[in-house]
Chains A and B, each alone.
Chain A
Amino acid sequence: MSSPIHTHSLSKAFRRHDAVRSLDLEVPAGSVYGLIGSNGAGKTTTIKLLMNILRPSSGTAEVLGVDSRRLGPRHLARIGYVSENQELPDEMTVDYLLRYLKPFYPTWDDSLANEMVRQFDLPRDRRLHHLSRGMRMKAALASSLAYRPELIVLDEPFTGLDALVRHEFIQGLLERADGTTILISSHDLSEIESFASHIGYLEDGRLRFHEEMSTLVERFRQVEVIFAAAPALPQDWPAAWTQPQTGSSVLRFVDRQFDHSTTPAEIRRLFPAAQNIACEPMPLKDIFVSLAMSSRHSNAA
């Protein structure tokens, strides 16, 4: 099965600012692809390029097998898009929004729409501009899932939502998007971590890495080594070990290429005086911080 989203050397420049630089992105079919990165990394611009909201400066993007610049009504009827900064038709009530959108989608499912309205506890007769931010996002999601899209694109959907609404949002999404490809950009790494199958890390418009969530989590470890006395860092410090911190009898660092079979042995080789070695899995948030910090250090250097 071909990738629903595939980009090749995709770039976007605004005047002299390169927002996206030569991006090669591949979102596997059926995956939940989390696009993460700090503010200004290029996540939203990338998604707007994919949705044909913006036109690329160079390179190409294919969405559902079509050049993104040629995305038309037929293709958009198969894509669900929700964005935190999208302007909704505020004068419409929830009920009218769903009734209005129905004729646009041949695959619209009334029962599914009603079910989501109930599940999200959306007030049918209230205008969108009278709804809270969370309610508006849920209404947007309901209107984007009711036609069972093949691809769902979510741009920072959790921004400004409280924990309960986030939970409802994700529940609603996952329950009804089984097997659907989802591309989601978010700062909320803890939420992403709970359901993303793939992660792509954008920095300064470039895709620094992208891999399956399971291998990423497996690859990163917070390592703590206990010594009897203060340790000294060796000359041949491995490049994959980042952010070393030393105390009176402790050395901590992040191993970005952890391997059960080789890493402990390598630590013992470099630190024969090590008394205890602990390698703990890292949450996505810490991985993200680690990556961002090491990137800043290398940029500063």
Chain B
Amino acid sequence: MRQALHIFRKDVRFLWPPILVVLAMTAIFAWSRSVDPSRFIRGNTGVGATNLLDTVSSFLVLAWWYLIACLIYKEQPAGDRQFWVTRPYSWKSLLAAKTLLIVTFINASFLISDIAILSANGLSPSKAAANLLGRQLAITAIFLLPAAALAATTRHLAYIAFALSVVLLLNLFFNPGGSEGLYHLWGRLAWIPEWTTAAILAAGSFAVLAWQYASRRTPISWTILAGVSAICAAILMAKPVGPAIALQSHFPSASADVPEVRLSFAPGAHPKGGIMIGPSKFVQFPPGMHGWVPIRINGFSPGVQVKADLVKVTIHGPQGTSWSSGWIHSSPSTQSRGPIEWAQAWIGDENRFLYVTIGKQPLESFQSQPVSVSVSVAMTVFRTETATQLMSGEPDRSIAGVGNCSVRGMNAPGSPWLLCRSAESSPVRVDVQGIPLIEASYAPKWGIFAQSPVSRLYESLADRRSLFNEGPIYITTGRPVAHVRRDLEIPQIRLWEAPSR
């Protein structure tokens, strides 16, 4: 331990510039997440704030990696010209010294930053202890250990930059949605690939570090790193085993018996080239669409709302021919997911209608033939939980599942804004004046793998200002209480005709 401290003191003495950069970036990171987000807003959107926070986070991670690279390169395990390998260093002491510096100036400073962010947002750090610990484990597993392992097997920053560029490019190529893509595939079970990847990365990186410092056999370390990377890539690209897991994953364990919710074919429904997905937002169907199957979701009891999450369409033609879409996500955002060659599901009219659009390819297979269509829909059922009244300028009010909320900036561009801050994430649906503001997200961005220990909902209410003017704003929350699957058989229709009949 004495030797480790001796090396640690030496490293601090000679690495003060990158250490200062890390501390400064951490301070900026903490400030950016503590200050009122309205400071960053440009125009009517929160894009300015999001970009700034993302940029600060990216620079913080780069500052970490730079410090780690400088630290490891002071006594490089890779190569055969290093000063330390012919001196009586204990590799365990050397590794301990490097670990100590990382823990002191990265982990500890990040923990202090998280605590400061929580405190500045009026939240209790002690109540978020598990989340704080999880975030420490996450950054260590995902950012720190792999960077240290990479530095321990290379001799120049250029190699690290190259390796990281390759990882980023592969990530863009294979996983364009990033962590959101992971949530899209795995829903609330995203923690399985996330934590599995993190654990394998951490274990593999630690093994490489120990092996490199103990034996300095770099080719074997490269092999281990390549293997770990391949396993992690395979896990991140893997899809859930089947729709059953996908379905289960999107919902909490809560359940309720809601037999009244059912589907029916609504041949008379006319989406008129698009659908309404908000009080004033109309989304046009993309060109090239050839047909759709309009479905009505019925049977809501008071205080119950439904969101269709996954849809599967199977078309049975004559002579036993059939085509199935497989389980597809239903979301307005799917409109940007490429040419319509398959089927897509569109939710509209306050979730009362579901329009399953069928692309050119399957349509042509069954052109002008009477077919039967099977539609399966997996849905989340919400029950309205609380209704809270907010007035602009009033202090924060606690809303269960959403956090401490207030209305900000009545006179600012894009105003007013609803700002809610919470130390935990939960899939809560939020309605303002009875109109959905946010869907109950099955892809929470908050928590351990998020960029901040505080989840901040910051949504413009400008498009519904006329609904409350200067009066009170009613916030209604809904908690998911069940996930159900409903099937609908539509016999003997012609797909060409379905849209207009």
Contacts from A to B (Cβ < 8 Å): 48, 51-55, 72-74, 76-77, 79, 81, 83, 85-89, 91-92, 100-101, 103-105
- Determine if B87 and A76 form an interchain contact, defined as CB atoms under 8 angstroms apart: yes
B3 CB contacts on chain A under 8 angstroms: 103-104
- 14 A-B contacts (beta carbon < 8 Å): A48-B80, A51-B86, A54-B80, A76-B86, A76-B88, A76-B89, A86-B82, A87-B82, A89-B83, A91-B14, A100-B6, A103-B2, A103-B3, A104-B3
A48 to B81, CA, bound (A): 9
* B residues 75-94 in Cβ contact with A at 8 Å: 80-83, 85-90
Complex interface: chain A residues within 8 A of B82 (CB): 86-87
Q: Give chain A residues whose Cβ lies under 8 Å from the Cβ of B86.
A: 51, 53, 76, 79, 81, 86
Partner of B88, one of A77, A92, A100: A77
Closest to B14 in A: A91
B88 and A104 contacting across the interface, CB-CB below 8 Å: yes
B81 neighbours in A (Cβ, 8 Å): 83, 85-87
Report which of B80, B88, B90 forms a contact with A53, defined as CB distance below 8 A. Answer: B80
User: In B98-149, which residues have CB < 8 Å from any A CB?
Assistant: none
- Residues of B close to A54: CB separation below 8 A: 80
Interface-central residue, B3, B87, B89, by most chain A CB under 10 Å? B87
Q: How far is the CB of A83 from chain B (nearest CB, A)?
A: 8
A-chain residues with CB within 8 Å of residue B74 when the two chains form the complex:
89
Q: Known: A48-B80, A87-B82. Contact between A100 and B10, CB under 8 A?
A: yes
Distance in angstroms between the alpha carbons of A91 and B13 in the assembled complex: 10
Chain B nearest CB: distance from A140 CB in Å?
Answer: 9
Min CB distance, B84 to chain A, in Å?
8
- A104–B82 CA distance with the chains assembled, in angstroms: 16
Q: Give bound CA distance, A52 to B214, whole Å.
A: 12
Given A55-B217, A76-B88, also A88-B2 (CB < 8 A): no
Q: CB-CB < 8 A to B90: which residues of A?
A: 72-73
Give the chain B neighbours of A83 by CB distance below 8 A. 81
Q: Using Cβ atoms and an 8 Å threshold, which residues of chain B touch A79?
A: 86
Chain B residues in the interface with A (C-beta under 8 A): 2-3, 6, 10, 14, 74, 80-83, 85-90, 217
Give Cα distance in the complex from A89 to B85, angstroms.
Answer: 12
User: In the complex, A16 Cα to B81 Cα: how many Å?
Assistant: 22
Q: A87-B82, A89-B74 are in contact. Are A104 and B2 (CB under 8 A)?
A: no
CB of B80 within 8 A of CB of A88, answer no
Q: Which residues of A contact B10 (CB under 8 A)?
A: 100
Task: Give chain A residues whose Cβ lies under 8 Å from the Cβ of B89.
Answer: 73, 76, 104
Are B217 and A88 closer than 8 Å at their CB atoms? no
Closest residue of A by beta carbon distance from B81? A87
Q: Whose C-beta in chain A lies nearest to the C-beta of B9? A: A100
Whole-angstrom CA separation of A83 from B81 in the bound complex = 9
- B6 neighbours in A (Cβ, 8 Å): 100, 103
- In-complex Cβ contact of B83 among A55, A77, A88 (8 A): A88
Nearest CB in chain A: distance from B433 CB, A = 64
Q: What B residues does A53 contact at CB under 8 A? A: 80, 85-86
Contacts of B14 in A (CB 8 A): 91-92
Across-interface contacts of A87 in B (CB, < 8 A)? 81-83
Roughly how many angstroms separate A135 CA and B391 CA in the complex, as a whole number? 75
> Measured between alpha carbons, how far is A91 from B82 in the docked complex, in Å?
14
Q: How far is the CA of A103 from the CA of B6 in the complex (A)?
A: 8
Tell me how far the C-beta of A37 lies from the nearest C-beta in chain B, rounded to whole angstroms. Answer: 19
- B15 nearest CB neighbor, chain A only: A91
| Inter-subunit contact B87/A104 (CB<8 Å) | yes
In the complex, are the beta carbons of A74 and B83 less than 8 A apart?
A: no
Would you give the shortest CB distance from B87 to chain A, in whole angstroms? 6
- How distant is B461 from chain A, measured CB to nearest CB, in Å? 56
Distance of A160 from chain B, by nearest CB (Å): 16
Give B470 Cβ to nearest chain A Cβ, in Å: 64
Which of A51, A74, A91, A104 has the most chain B CB within a 10 Å cutoff? A104
Select from chain A the residue with minimum beta-carbon distance to B155. A87
Closest Cβ neighbor of B84 among chain A residues: A89
Shortest Cβ gap from B334 to chain A (Å):
53
Task: Determine the chain B residues whose CB is within 8 A of the CB of A81 once the complex forms.
Answer: 86
Known contacts: A89-B74, A91-B14. The answer to whether A101 contacts B87 by CB under 8 A is yes
Residue of chain A at shortest CB distance from B79: A87
B86, closest chain A residue (CB): A81
Chain B proximity of A55: nearest CB distance (Å):
7
A283 to B14, CA, bound (A): 48
Docked CA distance A69–B303 (Å): 74
Q: Which single residue of chain A is at the shortest CB-CB distance from B75?
A: A89
A50 to chain B, nearest CB (A): 10
A52 to B81, CA, bound (A): 12
- A181 vs chain B, min Cβ distance (A): 16
Residues of B within 8 A of A103 (CB): 2-3, 6
**Shortest distance between the CB of A15 and any CB in chain B (Å):** 11
Q: Once bound together, how far apart are the Cα atoms of A100 and B75, in whole Å? A: 14
Scoring B2, B82, B86, B87 by chain A CB atoms within 10 A of each residue's CB, the highest score goes to: B86
Shortest C-beta distance, B185 to chain A (Å), equals 43
Q: Determine if A74 and B88 form an interchain contact, defined as CB atoms under 8 angstroms apart.
A: yes
Report the Cα distance A206→B490, complex, angstroms.
86
- A83–B3 Cα distance when bound, in Å, is 25
The list of the 7 closest CB pairs from A to B, nearest first, reads A73-B88, A81-B86, A77-B88, A76-B88, A87-B81, A104-B88, A53-B80
Complex: A100 Cα to B217 Cα, angstroms:
27
Given A54-B80, A101-B87: 5 more A-B contacts, CB < 8 Å: A53-B85, A76-B88, A88-B83, A89-B74, A105-B88
Residue of A nearest to B6 (CB): A103
Q: How far is the CA of A89 from the CA of B81 in the complex (A)?
A: 11
In the complex, what distance in Å separates the CA atom of A55 from the CA atom of B86?
14
Residues in B with CB closer than 8 Å to A73 are: 88-90
Chain B residues, Cβ within 8 Å of A105 = 88
A233: min CB distance to chain B, Å: 48
CB contacts (< 8 Å) of B85 on chain A: these are: 51-53
CB distance from B244 to the nearest CB of A (A): 52
Of chain B, the residue at the smallest CB distance from A76 is B88
A88 CA / B85 CA spacing, docked (Å): 11
- By beta carbon, the residue of chain A nearest B2 is A103
Give the Cβ gap from A149 to chain B, nearest Cβ, in Å.
11
Residues of B within 8 A of A74 (CB): 88
B residues near A85, Cβ cutoff 8 Å: 81
Contacts of A86 in B (CB 8 A): 81-83, 86
Residues of B within 8 A of A76 (CB): 86-89
Q: CA of A72 to CA of B215 in the docked complex: distance in angstroms?
A: 11
Contacts of A77 in B (CB 8 A): 88
B400: shortest Cβ distance to chain A, in Å?
A: 56
* B80 surroundings in chain A (CB, below 8 A): 48, 53-54
A54 to B217: give the CA distance in the assembly, Å: 9
Complex CA gap A149/B2 in Å reads: 23
A-side contacts of B2, CB under 8 Å: 103
Q: Which residue of A lies closest to B5 (CB)?
A: A103
Docked CA distance A73–B92 (Å): 11
